Amino acid sequence: MSGFVLAIDQGTTSTRAILFDGEMTIAGSGQKEFAQHYPASGWVEHDPEEIWASVVTTVKAALRKAGRKASEVAALGITNQRETIVVWDRATGKPIHNAIVWQDRRTAPLCQKLKKQGLEKTFTRKTGLLLDPYFSGTKIAWILDKVKGARKRAEMGELLAGTIDSFLIWRLTGGKVHATDATNASRTLVYNIRENAWDDELLAILRIPARMLPQVKDCADDFGSTEKSLFGAEIRILGVAGDQHAATIGQACFEPGMMKSTYGTGCFALLNTGGDLVRSKNRLLTTIAYRLNGKTTYALEGSIFIAGAAVQWLRDGLKVIGKAEQSGKLAATADPTQNVYLVPAFVGLGAPHWDADARGAIFGLTRNSGPAEFARAALESVAFQTCDLLDAMRKDWKEASAKTVLRVDGGMVASDWTMQRLADILDAPVDRPTILETTALGAAWLAGSQAGVWPAAGTFAKKWVLERRFKPEMDTSVRAAKLAGWRDAIRRTLSTQ
């Protein structure tokens, strides 16, 4: 059988399809951006039909550029933006509302209401998550409440709900399969991560009919096959994982204590805790890292909402750079005597603060502050936020080494300046691999290993290759002063001081 494996990487701002060959190198790829919709302050939506069209387009492009046919592809893996939710008609496959994106904050009032009812501990105990608009469950409840007739139709079994992977699987298989994997399910706020099942009590609280939800499978499993009419031949869908979990796999973080952080629109750090379901006392998330052969591996996760999006703000909002890759060079020219801090709470703050009402703020401006200082503040904010996460992880899990090596991926890691500053602020080594497409690679490995054309986890891990290690160089006193300034800026930004 051919060793070609296709990965669909459905992200927050674009969709990519990458065809890997039997040596796990890229044979062809396609990418397409799609529109972001902001119908109200703090609201973010995507058009599911546009996402679907981008998937079909990019898959065809990847095959075309590689000079390969769908019949030569052994397996397909899907990775996706997590927590973004779609509700669609079971009969027609048509969405009844735009997808509500993970960044969306419209359900903050519902989360506050549930907190006041004393229900957050119940949700956290069962799901490992906090009551925050970030997660999918309250988004489903909102759609059922706000779209006319939706709740009644859902109760009658006419509507289906799922994260983006579920919607794509439904469309790719022509409506034959309604399924998701354990990682995506673990982010919905209604999945019991210890029992590995949808939780009836949580579904009842949010008034979500269980019949709407997909079957939950292992990350490497049989998710059906694509319709022949789409790409010219059926392709078996054999791997699915949420983007951060797929990146964890792509970074070969298979051993407890290994940690990866992905720097895309947001930043998401996962620390593999093995079979230990670690209950965070520092407002981190407990999540399913992956589930293979029925065995669940857990992780502690810190979620930062704004990372690369801060660079986009420099480019599109302030217009101080023309291209994202210019940010590091500009930051390097900043005046070292100025201490400018950006708290990028544009859509609230994620872990470990979880303040949905906080908004972005800048501190330390002087008359001499300019584009270079803004660029440095934006990039440093990512390092400071990552440091907050790592500190919390070390407090939560005694097995977490004080000198954890961080494996990084995502668009921002191409900047040497940013990665060096990250190592300096963390006071820990930062490893950048030769293959930066770790999210797509993780999805491809799930599918390829399930198909029997790619190696098992141990052999796959040995193929991970370091491109560069960034070692801490910053003076201890300078680091301490910078972190003190950051913590003061955070304190001033929080909505509940």
* Intra-chain end-to-end CA distance of the chain, in Å: 61
For 274-281, the CB contacts below 8 A with 24+ separation are 274/298, 276/397, 276/399, 277/128, 277/193, 277/194, 278/396, 278/397, 279/128, 280/128, 280/392, 280/396, 281/395, 281/396
- Does the annotation flag 348 for ligand binding? no
Question: DSSP label at 313?
Answer: I
- Does the annotation flag 134 for ligand binding? yes
358 Cβ contact partners less than 8 Å away, ≥ 6 residues apart: 343, 345, 348, 349, 493, 494, 495
- In angstroms and rounded to an integer, the radius of gyration of the C-alpha atoms of the chain is 22
- Does the annotation flag 16 for ligand binding? yes
- Does the annotation flag 13 for ligand binding? yes
| C-alpha to C-alpha distance for 392 and 281, rounded to whole angstroms | 8
| C-alpha to C-alpha distance for 494 and 383, rounded to whole angstroms | 19
Kind plus residue range of the DSSP H or E element containing 263: strand 259-263
- Does the annotation flag 82 for ligand binding? yes
- Does the annotation flag 128 for ligand binding? no
Sequence letter at residue 40: A
What are the CA-CA distances from residue 418 to residues 23, 178, 482 (Å)? 31, 41, 15
| C-alpha to C-alpha distance for 344 and 358, rounded to whole angstroms | 9
SS3 at position 187: coil
Of 15, 55, 18, 46, which is closest to residue 31 (Cα–Cα)?
15
Residue 345 burial (CB < 10 Å; 0-12/13-18/19+)? buried
- Does the annotation flag 125 for ligand binding? no
| Cis status of the peptide bond prior to 352, with omega within 30 of 0 | yes
| C-alpha to C-alpha distance for 491 and 437, rounded to whole angstroms | 36
- Does the annotation flag 322 for ligand binding? no
Residue in the structure block whose two tokens are 């300034």: 485
Q: Is the dihedral of CA 252, 80, 17, 212 positive or negative?
A: positive
- Does the annotation flag 479 for ligand binding? no
- Does the annotation flag 411 for ligand binding? yes
Which residues are annotated binding-site positions for glycerol?
A: 82-83, 134, 243-244
Which residues are annotated binding-site positions for sn-glycerol 3-phosphate?
A: 12, 82-83, 134, 243
Which residues are annotated binding-site positions for ADP?
A: 12, 16, 265, 308, 411
Which residues are annotated binding-site positions?
A: 12-14, 16, 82-83, 134, 243-244, 265, 308, 312, 411
Which residues are annotated binding-site positions for ATP?
A: 12-14, 265, 308, 312, 411
